Amino acid sequence: AQSVTQPDIHITVSEGASLELRCNYSYGATPYLFWYVQSPGQGLQLLLKYFSGDTLVQGIKGFEAEFKRSQSSFNLRKPSVHWSDAAEYFCAVAASGGGADGLTFGKGTHLIIQP
């Protein structure tokens, strides 16, 4: 069974600084990988996804993520954060095979933006 680890529960970054949120996954085959963002009291918005091909994927709101198979990682990055980026970020993995494969989520990283 697949699993996702987000090692950082909270991260604080100054506005305008760069950001990297870590995500490690465990899955035997090539996974489908996702990053979602959740604002307080809101649903999940898909930031970006990786299925195959170029290991550096671009998403919405200026985010990007890099799939590194050797490290089983899919870290999320943004060169310059804005106060509106403060939210909860979830990394998720789905199996690449068939079956009733929903998404397996990490526990999330809470991003705090300092002025």
Report the interface residues with another protein, using CB under 8 A: 4, 6, 32, 34, 36, 41-44, 46, 49, 51, 90, 92, 94-108
Between 77 and 94, name the residue whose CB sits nearer to another protein. Answer: 94
Q: Report CA dihedral (35, 40, 44, 49) to the nearest 10 degrees.
A: -10
Cβ burial of 96 (10 Å; 0-12, 13-18, 19+) is middle
Query: At its nearest, how many Å lie between another protein and the CB of residue 14?
Result: 25
CA gap 77, 97 in Å, rounded:
28
Between 77 and 105, name the residue whose CB sits nearer to another protein. Answer: 105
Q: Are 95 and 101 in contact (CB under 8 A)?
A: yes
User: Which amino acid is residue 95, in one-letter code?
Assistant: A
Between 11 and 103, name the residue whose CB sits nearer to another protein. Answer: 103
